[in-house]
């Protein structure tokens, strides 16, 4: 891997130096030639990696062009930048380049995008898209687009009215609105090209995820696992927005797009119409399994990978059975949606362990053999390594405090539940770790092929749960659980852990007072960026975790940092500040901490957040002086 890293850096530097030179046209053709020379070099390096190398497949993580066109950086979801101008030595000098107020005081979970000389940000409800011109001083607004979503949608969004970002492809910006629209805009002008209405708020459907564009299709899933909404993923034609295929998270095989190509690795996932037979009669129709998180794509295997959310209602006594295909992961053909394999992280989920976190696609040697793997820090507390060609679990190790289960049986693939922590109607079960929000929720991790570490922002919380009866009324919550959360062992409610994938153990871990609800980015300069809910934006060493620099922003941070090369050739780091989300709902929703069950129990663990930060919504961009 050292080989690859070394060959990358001179190539990037050469291109950048050339840009600033005088004879631009001639040099541009020269740099193009250099690229051609560099590319085979890179390919050669990745073809014969050393034994210990862990790196994403080149097809899913092409050479860094300094842009940031999708929230996960690339299809392999590494959130790794090859830029090196900002590094361990000089990051302490970072200063603000410019700021921009989004005008919305709700949880800012989105990743900004950078394409060419433009930056694009999408706000929480009402989902305004801003385009900022990076070529001009202070990055003035070039255009904005207001989709005017239905205000009533705010009443069916379970955990603040967040949006996790847009995606760029083919000159268009694709994004979702809370009230169930996917919209394509002309990236230059902000003019809408198409607007597809795919979600219905009157049955509780919303959309909060960032779309992913794969092979001319915009992939979108719905939210609503707390409202008895049946989950789906849709592929929309990027050209005109019509629905090409829909794959449901529950129900008969034909709805889930399970056909002759479906070959799950474990016996528990084999059988006909399991999405119906593993439920009480008709319960699958209101059973959740929503797809509101992250999708990865492997062009070589022609597979997309996406998780499925929790089954509904939360009270497990009301839905005996394995509740397929909730709290699991699918591999699908992006052209047809046909399922190739499935694995269930949490069969018959007891604790709202959605399975929708990010999956990082990597190639590595596992027990002496090269394997195509998928790494998933999962909500139930385990760091899974799966063979992404088959869905076989190679490793599942807890990356924090877990007592709700006792490990994963690698033979059957099944999570071994702890019977002491089993919830049900009319009984209070105490000190269940992790909480409903998981050891790690949606907040995406980052992987550096240089350090071979996965950087995981996560929570450290436990909870008491009591199952209660619940009625299904379409468009209203369908939860059936009283929850109150408390800080986990050690008292720190959050942690930032660097996980050694090959060694299956943490390299280092930082304690944070509040849950680390922000995403993270790691660079070839060996710097990792993340934010805290107090509002600190931090840079730590990718090797040791030592704090190198921090900056206090206006509000708590729950967004996804990115880094890019600006039109002036210099490296920038950007983050949206603005507290909210499920963890920050106490502030963005002005909730009352005297009720331990407020915000599905999260408020009980966040009683002091109102004293630590206030709502906001500001973009911060940093650079070296």
Backbone angles phi, psi at 45, to 5 degrees: -65, -40
**Pairing between strand 382-387 and 393-398?**
antiparallel
- Helices of type H across 78-206: none
Token pair listed for 243: 């629905």
Compare residues 138 and 151 and give the one whose CB is closer to other proteins: 151
Minimum CB separation from other proteins for residue 380, in Å? 23
Q: Does the annotation count 255 as an active-site position?
A: no
Cβ atoms of 318 and 350 within 8 Å: the answer is: no
With CA atoms as reference, report the closest residue to 155 among 202, 98, 88: 202
Minimum CB separation from other proteins for residue 559, in Å? 21
Angle at 492 between CA 489 and CA 496, to 5 degrees: 105
Bridge partners for 575 per DSSP: 620
Compare residues 161 and 528 and give the one whose CB is closer to other proteins: 161
Compare residues 146 and 300 and give the one whose CB is closer to other proteins: 146
With CA atoms as reference, report the closest residue to 519 among 297, 360, 311, 353: 360
Minimum CB separation from other proteins for residue 554, in Å? 23
Compare residues 615 and 619 and give the one whose CB is closer to other proteins: 615
Compare residues 378 and 466 and give the one whose CB is closer to other proteins: 466
What is the Cα–Cα distance from 540 to 615, expressed in whole angstroms? 26
Q: Please tell me which residue in 255, 352, 363, 464 is annotated as part of the active site.
A: 352
Minimum CB separation from other proteins for residue 473, in Å? 6
Other residues' Cβ atoms within 10 Å of the Cβ of residue 552: 11
Minimum CB separation from other proteins for residue 465, in Å? 8
Q: Does the annotation count 176 as an active-site position?
A: no
**Pairing between strand 520-523 and 80-81?**
parallel
Encode burial over 186-208: b for 16+ CB neighbours within 10 A, e otherwise.
Answer: ebeebeebbebebbbbebbbbbb
Q: Please tell me which residue in 64, 109, 226, 354 is annotated as part of the active site.
A: 226
- How many angstroms separate the Cα of 447 from the Cα of each of 7, 101, 516, 520? 19, 30, 17, 10
Compare residues 361 and 599 and give the one whose CB is closer to other proteins: 599
Compare residues 318 and 329 and give the one whose CB is closer to other proteins: 318
Residues that bind other proteins (CB under 8 A): 151-159, 226, 428, 464, 466, 468-471, 473, 475-479, 482, 484, 585, 589-600, 603
Compare residues 224 and 506 and give the one whose CB is closer to other proteins: 224
Cβ atoms of 606 and 586 within 8 Å: the answer is: yes
Omega prior to 144 cis, within 30 of 0: no
Minimum CB separation from other proteins for residue 103, in Å? 17
Cβ atoms of 139 and 114 within 8 Å: the answer is: no
The SS3 assignment for 609 reads helix
Compare residues 33 and 474 and give the one whose CB is closer to other proteins: 474
The SS3 assignment for 191 reads coil
With CA atoms as reference, report the closest residue to 160 among 579, 514, 519, 580: 580
Q: Does the annotation count 352 as an active-site position?
A: yes
Bridge partners for 213 per DSSP: 218
Cβ atoms of 381 and 399 within 8 Å: the answer is: yes
Minimum CB separation from other proteins for residue 442, in Å? 17
In DSSP notation, 227-274 reads TTPPPEEEEEETTT--EEEEEESSS-HHHHT--TT---SSGGG-STTH
Q: Please tell me which residue in 163, 290, 310, 315 is annotated as part of the active site.
A: 310
Compare residues 209 and 621 and give the one whose CB is closer to other proteins: 209
* Positive or negative torsion for Cα 352, 605, 522, 370: negative
Minimum CB separation from other proteins for residue 436, in Å? 12
What is the Cα–Cα distance from 444 to 137, expressed in whole angstroms? 31
Minimum CB separation from other proteins for residue 603, in Å? 6
Number of H helices, E strands in the chain: 6, 39
Minimum CB separation from other proteins for residue 597, in Å? 4
Element (H, E) at 16: helix 2-20
Encode burial over 254-287: b for 16+ CB neighbours within 10 A, e otherwise.
Answer: ebbbbeeebebbbebbeeebbbbebbeeebbebb
Minimum CB separation from other proteins for residue 276, in Å? 26
Compare residues 153 and 364 and give the one whose CB is closer to other proteins: 153
Element (H, E) at 505: strand 505-512
Active site residue ranges: 226, 310, 352
């Amino acid at each position: 891997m050292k080989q690859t890293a070394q060959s990358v850096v001179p190539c990037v530097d050469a291109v950048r130096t050339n840009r600033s030179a005088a004879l631009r046209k001639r040099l541009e053709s020269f740099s193009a030639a250099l690229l051609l020379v560099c590319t085979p070099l890179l390919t050669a390096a990745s073809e014969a990696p050393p034994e210990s190398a862990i790196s994403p497949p080149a097809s899913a993580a092409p050479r860094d062009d300094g842009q940031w066109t999708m929230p996960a950086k690339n299809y392999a979801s590494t959130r790794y930048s090859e830029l090196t101008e900002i590094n361990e030595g000089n990051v302490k000098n970072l200063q603000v380049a410019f700021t921009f107020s989004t005008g919305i005081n709700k949880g800012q979970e989105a990743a900004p995008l950078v394409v060419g000389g433009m930056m694009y940000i999408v706000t929480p409800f009402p989902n305004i898209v801003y385009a900022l011109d990076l070529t001009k001083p202070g990055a003035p607004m070039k255009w904005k687009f207001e989709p005017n979503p239905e205000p009533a949608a705010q009443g069916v969004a379970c955990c603040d009215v967040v949006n996790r970002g847009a995606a760029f492809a083919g000159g268009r910006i694709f994004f979702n609105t809370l009230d169930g629209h996917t919209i394509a805009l002309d990236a230059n002008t902000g003019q809408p090209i198409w607007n597809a209405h795919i979600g219905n708020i009157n049955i509780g459907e919303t959309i909060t995820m960032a779309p992913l564009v794969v092979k001319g299709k915009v992939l979108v899933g719905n939210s609503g696992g707390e409202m008895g909404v049946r989950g789906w993923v849709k592929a929309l034609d990027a050209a005109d927005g019509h629905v090409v295929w829909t794959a449901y998270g529950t129900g008969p095989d034909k709805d889930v797009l399970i056909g002759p190509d479906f070959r799950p690795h474990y016996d528990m996932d084999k059988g006909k119409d399991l999405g119906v037979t593993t439920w009480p009669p008709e319960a699958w129709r209101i059973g959740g399994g929503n797809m509101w998180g992250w999708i990865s794509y492997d062009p070589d295997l022609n597979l997309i990978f996406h998780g499925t959310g929790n089954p509904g209602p939360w009270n497990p006594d009301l839905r005996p059975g394995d509740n397929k295909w909730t709290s699991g992961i699918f591999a699908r053909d992006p052209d047809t949606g046909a399922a190739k394999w499935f694995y269930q992280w949490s069969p018959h989920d007891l604790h709202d362990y959605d399975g929708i976190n990010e999956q990082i696609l990597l190639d590595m040697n596992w027990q002496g053999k090269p394997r195509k793997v998928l790494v998933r820090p999962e909500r139930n507390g385990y760091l899974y390594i799966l063979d992404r060609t088959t869905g076989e679990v190679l490793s599942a190790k807890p990356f924090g405090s877990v007592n709700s289960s006792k490990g994963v049986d690698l033979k059957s693939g099944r999570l071994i539940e702890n019977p002491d922590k089993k919830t049900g109607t009319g009984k209070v079960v105490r000190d269940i770790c992790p909480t409903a929000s998981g050891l790690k929720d949606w907040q995406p991790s980052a992987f550096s092929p240089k350090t071979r570490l996965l950087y995981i922002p996560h929570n450290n919380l436990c909870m008491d749960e009591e199952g209660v009866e619940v009625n299904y009324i379409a468009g209203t919550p369908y939860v059936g659980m009283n929850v109150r959360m408390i800080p986990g062992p050690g008292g720190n409610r959050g942690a930032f852990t660097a996980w050694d994938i090959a060694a299956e153990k943490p390299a280092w871990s930082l304690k944070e007072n509040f849950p680390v609800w922000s995403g993270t980015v790691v660079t070839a300069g060996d710097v990792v960026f993340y934010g805290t809910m107090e509002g600190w934006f931090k840079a730590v060493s990718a090797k040791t975790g030592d704090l190198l620099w921090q900056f206090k922003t206006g509000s708590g941070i729950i967004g996804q940092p990115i880094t890019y090369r600006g039109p002036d050739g210099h490296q920038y780091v950007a983050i949206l500040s603005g507290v909210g989300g499920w963890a920050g709902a106490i502030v963005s929703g002005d909730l009352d901490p005297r009720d331990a069950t407020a915000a599905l129990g999260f408020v009980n663990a966040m009683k002091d957040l109102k004293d630590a930060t206030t709502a906001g919504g500001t973009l911060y961009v940093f650079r070296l002086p």
